[in-house]
Amino acid sequence: MGNKVASAIAKLSFKLLLLAAILAAATASPAPSPQKEVPVQEIIGKVIDGRDVAYDNVTVIGDLIFRNLQAEGKIKITKSRLAGVNLNDSSFSKSLDFSGSIFSSDADFSRAKFNEYTGFEEASFEKNVSFEEAEFPEAIFVNASFLGVSRFDYATFNDYVSFSGANFSGGSFPETTFLAITDFTSCKFDNNTDFGKASFSDVVLFKYANFEEGVDFLAATFDDVIAFTSSNITKANFRLAKFKGPSHFGSVNFSQDAIFDLAQFDFLAYFIGSQFDGNLSLLSAKIANINLQNTTFSESSKIFLKDADFSKFQTHWSHIKKYLEYDGAAYLKLVKNYKDLEWFEDADDCYYQYRSESQNLKGWGLSRISDMLACVTCGYGVRPLNPVLCSLALIIVCTGILWRGNGLRNPGHMDRRTELFDAMYYTLAVFFTIPLPDLKPQGRFRYMAVLERAISWTLFALLIATLGKVMIR
């Protein structure tokens, strides 16, 4: 009986395995058919004759070369493999589409003029490619791969262009003109990328982009909104850049220095939540409004504001005081900024640190000594508690001197030693200018009483002045 059951189970298992294999074979994707080979002369002949070119999933045999040609028909070679391509100085009246195609050798589209839609979505350039001085209408490079050097120097994009998700091994966009919405969202730039003197006339998106070795936007111009939100930038050079619209750098990770020297921000520069592992340099920058709240700096980071001109600097003093490189003019501008924002405690703390650092830079002399006295007695005019504490210290010291030195006498008890209570009583009376005929200082202690009264009046005046400055805004 047991053998029959075991045999039945074995047969059932075999049938199930066979059925699974049949179902897997039925649902499996068919093997891709080999690409058809197309001689390049066939394509060139159609282009020269002004006919449309349409190929999909083919291998082009030979280099596609036609220069200074006016192509009248549509050109569509998608999901195909091409060798060398040289279409420089050519003009394309209708759309050109190489979506999904692979360029296995160098491709040259320099000085080409595209008059209709140009598509390179998911195209792969395995070698170098040049679009230098090319002119584009709407252009799509979504998820394209540029494995060699890709040059777009002096190119002009007249309409919407998207490089979203593209991967650049070595990208170059110096003096490129973008006249419409430009999208570099989620792009990856493996090497240093050059956007020097590039011009962006509309919204620009670099959200979630990754610049592995850094990016250079030297003297670039942004006429509208620019967004680098949540990007990773190793080293950022925005020296002399002009931001004419709002600029969003929120949650950006700057792995090295972020340089905005001589940059111009006409609207809000938004850096909330960004991380600076290197320095933030704003030397001689002109800033309408910058927000650095909730940013993170490394222990070695520095913020440079020398000669910067800013109207509104939004971040609390406690957040940047450890990192701000000393510059007297910058400190005083920050003090004024905090007062304009009605952040009065920040203004006082900033001014106090400014005076402290200024004092430390002075050599020993009358100026430094007077600064030290101003620090102790009134906290440079922003610490009203200091005169109170100094007054308490003065009362305690004078009381101790009179008591230990036996410096007081009662006319009715000239032989009695000065008691602690009498010394305190007399010191308080002198401090508050109350006459005491029953206690008299003896000998040199008379001078101490005069000195105490002079100091007490000075401290009282400092207290009134400091309270007036701090409390009456």
> What gap in Å lies between CA 355 and CA 331, rounded to an integer?
9
* Alpha carbon distance 335, 351 (integer Å): 6
Residue 339 identity (one-letter amino acid): K
Structure tokens at 402: 């009179």
Query: Residue 26: pLDDT above 60?
Result: no
Examine the pLDDT at 19 and tell me if it is beyond 50. no
Instruction: Give the integer Cα–Cα distance in Å for 257 and 254.
Output: 7
User: Helices 420-431 and 385-404 sit at what angle, rounded to 10 degrees?
Assistant: 140
Q: Tokens in use for 246?
A: 């709002």
CA 142 and chain centroid, separation: 26
Average pLDDT rounded to a whole number, residues 165-192:
95
Predicted pLDDT of residue 1:
46
3-state secondary structure of 399: helix
Q: Mean pLDDT check: name the lowest of 273-287, 310-324, 383-397.
A: 383-397
**How much is the pTM?**
0.79
C-beta of residue 200 within 8 angstroms of C-beta of residue 180: no
pLDDT of res. 438 = 75
The mean pLDDT of 66-92, rounded to a whole number, is 92
Q: Identify the weakest region by mean pLDDT among 22-31, 182-191, 333-342, 356-365.
A: 22-31
Quick one: pLDDT band at residue 473, thresholds 50, 70, 90? Answer: low
Mean pLDDT of the chain: 87
Dist. CA 72–CA 48, nearest whole Å: 8
CA 121 to chain centroid, in Å, comes to: 30
Please tell me the predicted confidence (pLDDT) of residue 413: 65
Tens digit of each residue's pLDDT (9 = 90 or more) over 218-260: 999 999 999 999 999 999 999 999 999 999 999 999 999 999 9
Q: Where are the alpha helices (DSSP H) in 57-176?
A: none
Q: How confident is the model at residue 52 (pLDDT cuts 50, 70, 90)?
A: very high
Q: How confident is the model at residue 16 (pLDDT cuts 50, 70, 90)?
A: very low
Q: How confident is the model at residue 155 (pLDDT cuts 50, 70, 90)?
A: very high
Half-sphere exposure of 426 (CA within 13 A, CB side): 30
User: Cβ distance 431 to 391 under 8 Å?
Assistant: yes
Which of 146-160, 231-245, 390-404 shows the lowest per-residue confidence on average (mean pLDDT)? 390-404
Q: What is the pLDDT of residue 315?
A: 93
**CB neighbour class for 274 (10 Å; exposed up to 12, middle 13-18, buried from 19):** buried
Residue 33: is its pLDDT beyond 50? yes
For 3-31, give the DSSP string.
HHHHHHHHHHHHHHHHHHHHHHHHHSPPP
Band (pLDDT 50/70/90 cuts) for residue 441 is confident
* Residue 411, pLDDT above cutoff 80: no
Cβ(15)–Cβ(38) under 8 Å? Answer: no
Is the pLDDT at 456 greater than 70? The verdict is yes
Using the predicted structure, report yes or no on whether residue 439 has a pLDDT greater than 90. Answer: no
Q: For position 22, what pLDDT does the model report?
A: 42
Give the mean model confidence (pLDDT) for residues 205-225: 96
